[in-house]
Amino acid sequence: MSGKPVRPRPAESLATDPREQFRMLKQTHEAELSGSRARVPSRSLIAESWRRSLAAHVDPDDYRPPLVYAPEDVADVRSAHPLTSVIPLLRKMLVDIADASHHIMIVTDAHGTILWREGAVDVCLQADPVGLCEGTRWAEDTIGTNAMGTALAIDAPVQIYSAEHLVRTYQTWSCAAAPVHDPDTGTQIGAIDVSGYRQDFHPAVVSLVTATAELAESHLRVQMAVRDEQLRARNMPHLAGLRGEAGALVTPTGRVLAGEPAGPWPDRVDLRSGADAVLLADGREAQLEPLSEGYLLRVPRPGGRAVTQRPALSLSFLRDTPSAVLDGRELPLTLRRAELLALLALAPAGLTAEQLALALYGEDGNPVTARAEIHRLRTQLGERAMRTKPYRLRAGVDADFLTARTALRRGDLRAALAAGQAPLLPRSDAPGIRAERDELVAALRQAVLDRGDIDALWEYAQREPGRDDLAVFERLAVELPGGDPRQAVAATRQGVLEAE
């Protein structure tokens, strides 16, 4: 018998023998996690992933990935995600294959949260009990080594075989995943994964997933080029209108698409601060003027000053049916968009997604849902009227509820009454709106009761909630003179309210 040692077989070479592969990988997993020397060491990629996962306090015996999005929130999150546009392509590339081969296709966001899961029904039924479903987060630091989380962690395609999963529950699965990058910024925007039972998994799946991710990025790159060309075509007149001032067209992410004059311009300007001006590499300060899509970068002449005219936004929300007008154009409004506009108008310095979620939904609010809502509103308003980081209105706002609030503070009761005929967005149950509405109602009621202005008190009594306020009609019945026809009406209404 030869004394020559047996050379370990790498995990990849065992893919054609799933039982032997699982036995060997399981032995390696148990040995290395117990601190023993494994007969066949794990791949370096796996060993490093296990170290990262254990350092994040992932329990190999706990198989509960955190639920980030409730089922009813997933659709909103998907609609705002950049991979939405390539899902039909991914279905064409992967779902039919996954379905036929008893696999599932999974698409995550940049944090490893599953947004889409499609494929074989029997595999989906097996995936649900272990949390392999939409809304759960599969980053390495939450659920340990897995193809989605590890691909995002190392920013490269990976294939994870059975017992290479750190968490024991998932060792009946094998998976392959590849990250997807934003062609504009180069940052990760998600991962594409194919998962299935260990005995059905083919080693070529990682190549298929990698090619699909590359195709998705190519598709996104084409879409970006189309948007760039549209932005150039629609906004070149803004450059021509600078009349000798230096300027450039800039995408919403800061890429410079065209400049005037055509001399050297940076490839990108920094918009992260959300400021109205940026400092160029040559030391010049340039002003940012929001366009309907992107920005006009203006470099004023020495001694000159560029002037940006803000859009005008008029909000009439102290009425039964709210309305909004932007630069003379009436905007179609849902109640949610009206709530967002009211909250932003009340906070001119801006609000974060977390603050908006709290104001819209209370303690159970999800910032991601708020971001999806604000994204749709921003698309409707245009970037000239609204900015991010934090979310804030850049338009000049004329709002009836702001007028009423200001009038009450300076003691102008008649102006406060004239501002509107109803409480602020009376159909809204959003906590932030409800609080502002209650404060306005209470302040106006106190003012009309305290001021001694009988005509103002009568006017308040003709609207909500004054028409159901017993104290108001008691005061009117006493203070209106006997010859005033309003006195009899007030006395009658007092009697009705007392009888209720």
Mean pLDDT of 32-38: 83
In the chain, domain spans: 44-222, 241-299, 312-399, 412-499
- 365-379 confidence digits (pLDDT tens): 888 988 898 988 988
- Centroid of chain to Cα 204: 35
- For the chain, the average pLDDT equals 85
Predicted confidence (pLDDT) at residue 167 exceeds the cutoff of 90: yes
Helix (H, G, I), strand (E, B) or coil at 315: strand
CATH class given for the domain over 44-222: alpha beta
CA distance 267 to 204: 39
Q: How far apart are the first and last CA of the chain?
A: 104
- Order of strands across the sheet that contains 114-119: 114-119, 103-109, 188-197, 173-181, 158-160
CATH class given for the domain over 312-399: mainly alpha
CA distance 112 to 177: 11
Predicted confidence (pLDDT) at residue 9 exceeds the cutoff of 60: no
More confident residue, 123 or 263: 123
Predicted confidence (pLDDT) at residue 432 exceeds the cutoff of 80: yes
Which distant-in-sequence residues (6+ apart) come within 8 Å of 76 by Cβ?
368, 369, 372, 373
CA distance 421 to 412: 16
pTM, 2 dp: 0.58
- 272-288 confidence digits (pLDDT tens): 655 677 777 766 778 88
- 66-121 confidence digits (pLDDT tens): 999 999 989 989 988 999 999 998 988 887 676 656 789 999 999 999 999 998 88
pLDDT-derived band at 306, boundaries 50, 70, 90? very low
- Centroid of chain to Cα 273: 18
pLDDT-derived band at 461, boundaries 50, 70, 90? confident
Burial label for 363, CB within 10 Å (0-12, 13-18, 19+), is exposed
- Of the candidates 401, 350, 391, which has an alpha carbon nearest to the alpha carbon of residue 370? 391
- Centroid of chain to Cα 147: 25
Mean pLDDT of 40-57: 92
